[in-house]
Structure 1
């Protein structure tokens, strides 16, 4: 008999562990920013200066048969020609995609670095991505450059209403971010299941229903008190944003604690999924009301009924009709030759339903969520087996690219000066945060089963996370007309900043509070 002697395992030294960010990382970030600023920013400054102060340079010897005033030469044109000559001499290539690539490198690298730091602090990575966005978007302000018309990283910022210059870097990033949001809601739908939703029981259903009614009422109250000069549609949207619940963050905490199979955990997760569905319906209804108000016409009962029917009817129709059509689609795709057919067929369902949602005046995210909801493993098992990958894992490279862009840009669009120039933002942010935490405890009253940890259920429904950010983003894009004929976004800069603060705080406090409530709730049982 022979024995194999394995070498003793050496303990990991600090040098063998994953290194923390070094000066090389900082140097890379500085290099990316500097390459953009010293390449594109000076040209932008010269163009702005030339537009503000154009001076004509007359020709000394005009050609015969032409008038001297036919083609005045400006300094702006001379500057552009000089830039082109410099680029030609230096072998440069002024590609329109170059600033977009530089922005993507900066956003992705910063997002992953900040996400890693926040995860080391036992907080969700989405908070790190949002935080680094706030830093990047207010870098000039934080460094004391208050009066610069051209701030260093303004090229990353998108127009609040989503209708900026289509050639600007910020606008292109906003398009990529919107696609990332569609994929994110599709991924959330994939993690849910219609059959599981029908089996959640009375407690989860009541918790979810209370999770919609309570925030709507409290959100309207906060809007009425802090924003009395704004129309009631803004108050409605505040309530809709408070309806959101991030099932992913709560599920991650429960999994880390090893308590996913407890009854309280199942109630929380079931209620959070239903809450997402109801929240999207509420978002669709409120958005329809705001769009109706944007036409300048008074809201009629018939118009409101049509909005409700379209929102609910689309989800029901997508679930039933989509469930019948997806199986033949994936079966047909399984006969094709090639790679990536699983992802391609899934994206056809996702983007197709997202587009159909826009045709009935709903947000694309509603269709994307419905697309993920109707897909079951039985529909695509042949393709999954052939490509040896699950659909959730197959689309992760796409979400890893596009979703961080959305979160970082959400932070970039936050203006920190709003908190100094408008002190009422602090009160609005505090009120929204308190209401967001309290009303979820009201939801816990829906737990009808005796002996359950209602405190844990209420705390598990607190985080807004990515869903709350999506709702706030939709509000920033919606535009409505006032009585004097002017248009303005529903969620303006100060309100947007307050919502982001509320989302960050609720997402940050949930993991420690939920852990405390679950461990605290176990002590009486252990003693018994």
Structure 2
């Protein structure tokens, strides 16, 4: 690995902390500062500074960014409990269903309106890219504001897991229609759902029957850092299995944290027990900002034509509306509907994955998602990513002032 990569990573980490500090001093979540720093670094070429050209696409940067968001969702899982997640499961399911169906319908309509000559498969694909929620940014904002115990947080996290499974099914259906002109067969859909359900059930069984004994054994070992290694190893293991099952790796990371939510460990030679979050927290504080800076760096402000900009604006509007209405799925309880809707808005890397799949499919010898449409989708993803932190922070503060004791 060349020295330039080390220097780029150093600049990204230090700039992230500087941007986060400025955001906090402005009474905003630090993730907003990290995103803004990324946008600045990624567009320095407009000022004739080319130091960071292509930095976001470097393999080490991409890997560390993905590792950062995986560890972040692991930490979020550690701060949740299975009991709490079960309590909000019906509400989370309804929120997820609305949050998938509404954006697909709205996205299809916008595509049909602005791209009337495009094939039906493109309209479906654009709708599908609006369906996927990326919970990493929302989770970071809620964590920054000490709102992890809020009912809204539990609903959002539960909905995000269900959303990922539904998104996988939608992607399979749309990709099959685009490539073969037909729906995938019942066996294919059953396999997708079975893999997702099998993974989640297996993760819960692992947490209930295997991990307590593993941590009891590990706590007797004298090697420094063994408990952190076991915890992170489990996180990466489930992230990998999740990816193999067709789900996003962050779902596996969240599940890993969830099954270890009540694990308190006493390292060898220590008198007091430590919560796993105390061990993992400092690592996440360094790694997670790389993901948010890289996300910001992928926003390219120069060389965008008028048509992609207009399409991006229209897609962003319906992307926001489509997720806001998902908050209507909240029934009873104390969870704030608007907070849940705002928390479901970011599309992040999941939307980009959908767009890349569409770009790889050919229709009449051309990519199904051409360069201009792809640029519009990327801009929509970035806009929903950037707009959420300040809006969510403002709303959750209002809710916490009105309901300070709700948890």
* TM class by smaller structure: 0.7 to 0.9
Paired with 2:275 and 2:229, the residues of 1 have a C-alpha distance of 13
* Equivalence for 1:507: 389
SS in 2 for 1:377: coil
> In terms of Rg, which structure is larger?
1
Tell me the equivalent position of 2:305. Answer: 421
2:360 alignment partner, SS class: strand
Map 1:227-376 onto structure 2 (within 5 A): 229=118, 230-241=122-133, 246-250=138-142, 252-253=144-145, 255=147, 265-266=150-151, 268-289=152-173, 298-302=182-186, 303-376=188-261
Moved more, 215-224 or 188-197: 215-224
1:464 to partner: Cα distance? 4.9
* Inter-partner Cα distance in structure 2 for 1:121 and 1:203: 34
Q: Secondary structure at the match of 2:223?
A: coil
Q: Residue 32 of structure 2 corresponds to which residue in structure 1?
A: 127
Rounded Cα–Cα distance in structure 1 between residues aligned with 2:271 and 2:364? 61
| Structure 1 residues 389 and 294: CA distance shift in structure 2, 3 A | farther
Alignment of 1:146-295 (within 5 A): 151-158=50-57, 170-200=58-88, 206-207=94-95, 209-226=97-114, 229=118, 230-241=122-133, 246-250=138-142, 252-253=144-145, 255=147, 265-266=150-151, 268-289=152-173
Q: TM-score, normalised by structure 1?
A: 0.65
- Listed as ranges, the gaps of 5+ residues in structure 1 are 1-95, 159-169, 523-528
Instruction: Select the residue among 275, 294, 305 that pairs with 1:390.
Output: 275
> Is 1:496–2:355 an aligned residue pair?
no
* 1:400 and 2:246 matched: no
Q: 1:472 aligns with which of 328, 337, 351?
A: 351
Instruction: Tell me the CA shift for residue 113 of structure 1.
Output: 0.9
Higher helix share: 2
2: CA distance between counterparts of 1:325 and 1:486? 51
Q: Distance in 1 between matches of 2:136 and 2:6?
A: 33
Distance in 2 between the 1:390 and 1:254 partners? 17
Instruction: Show the counterpart of 1:482.
Output: 362
Q: 1:505 to 1:213 in 2, by over 3 A?
A: same
SS of 1:317 mapped into structure 2: helix
What is the CA–CA distance in structure 2 between the aligned matches of 1:370 and 1:224, rounded to whole Å? 38
Q: What corresponds to 1:100 in structure 2? A: 5
Cα distance change, pair 237–410 in 1 and its aligned pair in 2 (3 A)? same
- Give the SS at the match of 1:241: coil
CA distance in 1 between partners of 2:142 and 2:189 (Å): 34
Aligned-residue CA RMSD in angstroms? 3.5
Contact conserved, 1:351 with 1:368, CA < 8 A, in 2? yes
Q: Which residue in 2 is equivalent to 1:457?
A: 337
The structure whose RCO (Cα within 8 Å, separation 6+) is larger is 2
The Cα of 1:492 is off from its aligned counterpart by: 2.4
Deviation of residue 182 (structure 1)? 1.7
Hey, what's the Cα distance between the residues in 2 that align with 1:155 and 1:521?
Answer: 46
Q: Give, in angstroms, the shift of residue 412 of structure 1.
A: 1.3
Q: 1:391 to 1:294 in 2, by over 3 A?
A: farther
In 2, are the aligned partners of 1:441 and 1:459 still within 8 Å (CA)? no
In structure 2, do the counterparts of structure 1 residues 398 and 135 end up closer, same or farther at CA, with 3 Å as the change threshold?
same
In 2 relative to 1, CA 156–116 (structure 1 residues): closer, same or farther, beyond 3 Å? same
Q: Residue deviations 1:113-146, cap 9 Å, x none?
A: 11111122222211211111111111122x2x5x
CA distance in 2, matches of 1:492, 1:469: 14
Alignment partner, residue 52 of structure 1: none
Q: Could you tell me how far apart the structure 2 residues matched to 1:101 and 1:323 are? A: 41
CA distance in 1, matches of 2:65, 2:232: 16
d(CA) in 2 for partners of 1:383, 1:364: 29
Runs (5+) with no aligned partner, structure 2: none
CA contact (8 A) 1:253 1:511 kept: yes
Count of matched residue pairs: 395
